[in-house]
């Protein structure tokens, strides 16, 4: 299980990099009133896919350890909320103009990021280190 935990820990940095890229790209797209392109959809899909991967790895850890402490369940629940937000909300404005899509998707990514940070904070120990 230690290897799976290490993978879970490393994949989060991929999420952080993708989240930073999405936030910068979407903020620029919104402020400059650009069109929402396939690259933008791909970045958002990549970010969501990374969270999907983290959920699968996290569930493997949760089941593998066989313990269900309060902080583990809070972490899992918060991460599932963030994932649902990333999957469901962007579909609401799929046909909207670019600036609106950038603004709304940026808000979704920021809220999901806040949820993810809160989900990490509930875990004991220093979870910010590799």
Q: What is the pLDDT of residues 20-61, one digit of tens each?
A: 999 999 999 999 999 999 999 999 999 999 999 999 999 999
112 lies in some domain: yes
Question: Looking at residue 124, what is its pLDDT?
Answer: 87
pLDDT tens, 66-123? 889 999 999 999 999 999 999 999 888 888 999 999 999 999 999 999 999 999 988 8
127 lies in some domain: no
Question: Looking at residue 10, what is its pLDDT?
Answer: 92
Chain length of the chain:
130
Question: Looking at residue 112, what is its pLDDT?
Answer: 96
Say which residue, 127 or 22, is predicted with more confidence: 22
Range(s) of the domain holding residue 86: 2-121
Asked if 47 and 98 touch (Cβ cutoff 8 Å), the reply is: no
- pTM over 0.85, yes/no: yes
Question: What is the sign, positive or negative, of the torsion defined by CA atoms of 72, 73, 76, 78?
Answer: negative
Asked if 40 and 25 touch (Cβ cutoff 8 Å), the reply is: yes
7 lies in some domain: yes
- Residue 106: closest CA among 20, 17, 37, 42: 20
Reading phi first (left if > 0) and then psi (alpha if -120 to 50, else beta), residue 69 is in beta
How many independent structural domains does the chain possess?
1
98 lies in some domain: yes
130 lies in some domain: no
Asked if 22 and 47 touch (Cβ cutoff 8 Å), the reply is: yes
102 lies in some domain: yes
Residue 68 tokens read as 């269900």
Q: Is the pLDDT of residue 65 over 60?
A: yes
128 lies in some domain: no
55 lies in some domain: yes
Q: Is the pLDDT of residue 127 over 80?
A: no
Q: Is the pLDDT of residue 129 over 80?
A: no
Question: Looking at residue 85, what is its pLDDT?
Answer: 96
């Amino acid at each position: 299980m230690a290897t799976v935990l290490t993978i879970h820990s490393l994949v989060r940095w991929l999420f952080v990099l993708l989240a930073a890229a999405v936030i910068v790209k979407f903020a620029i797209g919104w402020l400059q009133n650009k069109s929402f392109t396939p690259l933008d959809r791909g970045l958002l899909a990549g970010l969501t896919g990374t969270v999907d991967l983290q959920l699968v790895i996290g569930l493997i850890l949760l089941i593998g350890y066989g313990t269900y402490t309060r902080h583990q369940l809070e972490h899992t629940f918060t991460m599932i909320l963030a994932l649902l937000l990333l999957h469901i909300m962007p579909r609401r404005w799929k046909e909207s103009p670019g600036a609106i899509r950038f603004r709304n998707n940026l808000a979704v990514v920021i809220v999901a990021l806040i949820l993810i940070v809160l989900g990490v904070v509930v875990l004991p120990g220093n979870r910010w280190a590799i």
